[in-house]
Amino acid sequence: MSGSENANKKRSVEAVGTLYGVAAYGLWGLFPLYWRALSTVPPFQILMHRIIWAFVFTLILALALKRRDALIALLRSPRRLITTAVAGVLVSANWGIYIWAVNSGRIIETSLGYYLTPLVSVLLGVTVLREKVDRGIIAACVIAAIGVGILTVSYGKLPWVALSLALTFATYGLIKKLTGLDALTGLMAETFFVFPFAIAYLWFEHAAGRGTFGIIGMKETVMLALAGVVTAIPLLAYAAGVKRIPLYRMGILQYISPTCQLALGVLVFGESVRGARAVAFACILLALIVFALTRKHRKAISFKSEC
């Protein structure tokens, strides 16, 4: 194959990978529409259904794709089992906070949380993995911290939704890096560890007469059952994309998700970005610009959103 043919093939592969990346982050960015449509269901019940159906769907898919070897390897490693269980708790907490915030009219604050996630990941990389960073990344973190400080002063309290989303997901990403599981096997194993608690909680709710599945309405019941598919599809699109394009490009695409959430919050759900909140967002966006322009870091790290 000639050099020009190789170049054309590479461009074609990267174009497909970019489309996968845009699809993944675009779908994650539209998640508020899905969870808001389930606003008549208590947020904790939505979370439990998301866990249950995500486990069921990924288990079926893993078996169909013959991922048994990966599962067996996981079961033979107590350390990876423990870290995967911790990852399951963290991602469940992240999902729960996100669903509650969306249905409480705090979509803009969730977008702030996912804008902050890469910067929190940098801090974890430095403190836990002893990764080296340059002045540009330090400056980005300082600017972001100023933005969070402005929000704290304007609210009179810490913007806990944004910070908890960023902290739980950045820590989740760190643990995922340490376990080294593929996207499908990882999600299946993580949800497996919280699956029994989800089943028990929903059984208790139904026994107490507070259950909604099959009771509240056909639309809501179907949407709850599809929560697992909705969770897994963008994750699989991300996995397909990251195999085909450089990590720095996938890292840049990640900002599609919180940007879509911000747009939905303002344009669809009528939330506002004014005064101190606007200044804080300007600081966060400036920090992200500095972060994205830092060449060394951009080539080294990519983060994904699994809200």
Question: Where does the pLDDT of residue 248 fall: very low under 50, low under 70, confident under 90, or very high at 90 and above?
Answer: low
| Residue 13 belongs to a domain | no
Flag whether pLDDT at 13 surpasses 70. Answer: yes
Report the pLDDT averaged over residues 153-181: 81
Nearest-CA neighbor of 269 among 25, 50, 39, 49?
Answer: 39
| Residue 30 belongs to a domain | yes
Flag whether pLDDT at 298 surpasses 50. Answer: no
Average pLDDT, the chain: 82
Report the pLDDT averaged over residues 53-74: 86
Which domain range does residue 214 map to? Answer: 20-300
* Tens-digit pLDDT profile for residues 14-36: 778 888 888 888 998 999 999 99
* Tens-digit pLDDT profile for residues 202-213: 999 999 888 888
Report the pLDDT averaged over residues 76-103: 91
Flag whether pLDDT at 301 surpasses 50. Answer: no
| Residue 248 belongs to a domain | yes
Flag whether pLDDT at 304 surpasses 70. Answer: no
Report the pLDDT averaged over residues 69-92: 87
| pTM: predicted TM-score of the whole model, two decimal places | 0.83
| Residue 125 belongs to a domain | yes
**pLDDT given for residue 202 in this prediction:** 94
Q: Which has the minimum average pLDDT: 198-202, 277-281, 291-295?
A: 291-295
Report the pLDDT averaged over residues 143-147: 80
More confident residue, 216 or 221: 221
Flag whether pLDDT at 302 surpasses 50. Answer: no
| Residue 5 belongs to a domain | no
**pLDDT given for residue 299 in this prediction:** 46
| Residue 236 belongs to a domain | yes
Q: Indicate the number of domains in the chain.
A: 1
| Residue 305 belongs to a domain | no
